[in-house]
Amino acid sequence: MTSSSRSRVAVVGGGAAGLSVAWELARAGAEVQLYEASDRTGGAVAPLQLGAGNQLDGVSQLSALSVDAGAEAFATRSSAVADLIGDLGLAERIVSPNPAGAWLQLPHLAAPLPATGVLGIPGDPQAEDVVAVLGAEVAARAAEDLSAPMTWTAERASERPPSLGEVVRDRMGEAVVEQLVSPITSGVHSAAPDDLAISAAHPRLYQTMLRAGSLARAVADLKAAAPAGSAVQSLRGGMHTLTAELDAQLRQAGASIRLNTEVQDLRQLHAEQRPEHIVLAADLERAAALASPYLQVTDPPTGVPSGVALVTMLVRAPELDQFPRGTGMLVAPSVAHIGAKSMTHVSAKWAWVGEALHQQLGPGHHLLRLSYGRVTDDPDSGALGLNSSDAQLVRAAAADLPALTGVDVEAGQILDAAVVRWPRVLPGASAEHRHRAEQFRRALASQRSASVSGSDHQPQLWAVGGWLAGTGLAQVIPDARATARAILANA
């Protein structure tokens, strides 16, 4: 691309999606200006500095250790994120988690998460670890899926995309939804199975089920087709090093990154900077509002007025050295005595964190992260979450730790605590939201067609992000890179 033919592109939003699309464009020679309203790029992929807790006495020896404050891993069901990591020159930093895996906390027991599942759905409903959680009678009901006629069709899904809960309940029964699937969707997506479109939960699950004639066989097929090794991976040093590298390479490529700059009017941006393309990489409400002067959308997608609060705790507890709850705990919403929806035993899950703690503080030190806040929470219920105070969250986390770890961790063993809030990080995942998001994409495509054929020289509008692509880096990053390639093809 010569200097005279370089496309001028404005990217509004500097999270993982905005950085990915900007980097792809800049390395191809486009002239990129990225606008980020906050004081840093990366969005929910961000660092947390240990030893600087705002609740208890800090641990100064950890001044050089940063962990993830938000997203900590990526799904490996496709190579999309690993491909980007390789393209950035970071492939040697990819790490897999402790294979011990996570546990489930149900009202009546705590047990390891069955090994054959996807989203909690068992690939072998009568496997020993599935029966241990469900009981023989419920497992037998789930196994009926293997021989029951397949009543779901592609046409049925096109008329109204089904929720994950609907499909699992129909094929395997209510108990599988409540005891296996709900803890996963609550902990990972912060959503109930009935509020989560099956396509948003896993983009290939429904079609694979139709081909296999069984939900269990679909799960088994997906597991077999997945890359060898863990279902998730991360980077030594944390996932935030990915967005930091994207930022650094963007600047090296000559892109302009303007922090603390909130774009409020695309028409003004276009008049001042004359970009040929504008990529909306902001959250849903802001993107829809910015695009409104150019689009005719009768039923725009709506956001989730929620978020999550994460409490990260450094503890001195040699009793946790054997990882009694594996790499963490996923809590069913029906569990009344625990406020957290999930716990990650960070230093058990990621060896590099455990090694750093051991090196700097000695043995017996552990890092744990508890998550509070679900989409299903009633704002008036007083449930712990985004709007709770730091003190409330830290007290709740300290109270939840013994139940979640199976170890009596006392308050005096908590050396440091930090609270991080992520408002509006929960992209709409319902079937209705997915339908509206696709309508928004089509409206953007119509606007681009009109801008090419019209005489008013409008910029071509594009959008990326989790609210369009789905939850997780494995869906956000390939969608952002594909958008960049489409822009380059239109240049």
The domains of the chain are located at 3-41+259-303+429-490, 47-80+90-97+305-423, 103-225
Euclidean distance between CA atoms 342 and 332, whole angstroms: 9
What is the model's pLDDT at position 323?
A: 93
What is the model's pLDDT at position 2?
A: 46
Model confidence at 470: pLDDT above 50: yes
What is the model's pLDDT at position 58?
A: 45
CB 75 within 8 A of CB 58: no
In Å, how far from its chain's centre is CA 245?
A: 19
What is the model's pLDDT at position 184?
A: 92
CB 55 within 8 A of CB 417: yes
Q: Extract the tokens encoding 481.
A: 């890179």
Q: If phi over 0 gives left and psi between -120 and 50 gives alpha, with beta otherwise, what is residue 122? A: beta
In Å, how far from its chain's centre is CA 447?
A: 29
Q: What's the CATH code, domain 47-80+90-97+305-423?
A: 3.90.660
Euclidean distance between CA atoms 24 and 469, whole angstroms: 17
Model confidence at 457: pLDDT above 80: no
Fold of 3-41+259-303+429-490: FAD/NAD(P)-binding domain (3.50.50)
What is the model's pLDDT at position 56?
A: 41
**97-100 contact pairs (CB < 8 A, 24+):** 97/73, 97/230, 97/232, 97/233, 97/234, 97/327, 97/349, 97/350, 98/323, 98/326, 98/327, 98/348, 98/349, 98/350, 98/351, 99/230, 100/323, 100/326, 100/327, 100/348
Query: Which band of pLDDT confidence, cut at 50, 70 and 90, is reported for residue 473?
Result: very high
Helices (H), 383-430: 390-405
What is the model's pLDDT at position 77?
A: 84
Percent with pLDDT over 70 in the chain: 90
Highest mean pLDDT among 158-172, 233-247, 468-482: 233-247
For 409-450, how does the pLDDT look when each residue is reduced to its tens digit (9 = 90+)?
A: 999 999 999 999 988 655 556 667 777 788 888 899 999 988
For 354-365, how does the pLDDT look when each residue is reduced to its tens digit (9 = 90+)?
A: 999 999 899 999
For 257-301, how does the pLDDT look when each residue is reduced to its tens digit (9 = 90+)?
A: 999 999 999 999 999 999 999 999 998 888 888 999 998 766 665
Euclidean distance between CA atoms 243 and 36, whole angstroms: 14
Please compute the mean of the pLDDT values over residues 92-96 and round it to a whole number.
97
For 18-76, how does the pLDDT look when each residue is reduced to its tens digit (9 = 90+)?
A: 999 999 999 999 999 999 999 999 999 999 987 654 444 445 555 568 999 999 999 99
What is the model's pLDDT at position 302?
A: 58
Q: What is the DSSP string of 124-138?
A: STTSHHHHHHH-HHH
CB 473 within 8 A of CB 16: yes
> Which residue shows structure tokens 């509004």?
12
The packing angle between helices 240-252 and 16-27, to 10°, is 30
3-state SS class at 32? strand
For 226-251, how does the pLDDT look when each residue is reduced to its tens digit (9 = 90+)?
A: 776 678 999 999 999 999 999 999 99
Minimal CA–CA distance to 377: which of 192, 183, 107?
192
Name the strand (E) or helix (H) holding 184: helix 182-184
> Which residue shows structure tokens 């985004």?
386
Name the strand (E) or helix (H) holding 209: helix 205-212
The CATH homologous superfamily for domain 103-225 is protoporphyrinogen ix oxidase, domain 3 (1.10.3110.10)
Query: Which band of pLDDT confidence, cut at 50, 70 and 90, is reported for residue 454?
Result: low
Q: Extract the tokens encoding 311.
A: 């409490």
3-state SS class at 456? coil
Euclidean distance between CA atoms 22 and 464, whole angstroms: 11
Please compute the mean of the pLDDT values over residues 143-157 and round it to a whole number.
94
Model confidence at 303: pLDDT above 60: no
Half-sphere exposure of 19 (CA within 13 A, CB side): 25
What is the model's pLDDT at position 437?
A: 81
Euclidean distance between CA atoms 24 and 228, whole angstroms: 28
Domains 3-41+259-303+429-490 and 47-80+90-97+305-423 alike in fold: no
What is the model's pLDDT at position 438?
A: 82
What is the model's pLDDT at position 380?
A: 67
For 315-371, how does the pLDDT look when each residue is reduced to its tens digit (9 = 90+)?
A: 999 999 999 999 999 999 899 999 999 999 999 999 999 999 999 899 999 999 999
Euclidean distance between CA atoms 420 and 312, whole angstroms: 8
Q: What is the DSSP string of 141-176?
A: HHHGGGTS-----HHHHHHSPPBHHHHHHHHH-HHH
Phi, psi of 42 (to 5 degrees): 115, -25
What is the model's pLDDT at position 228?
A: 66
Name the strand (E) or helix (H) holding 115: none
What is the model's pLDDT at position 376?
A: 64
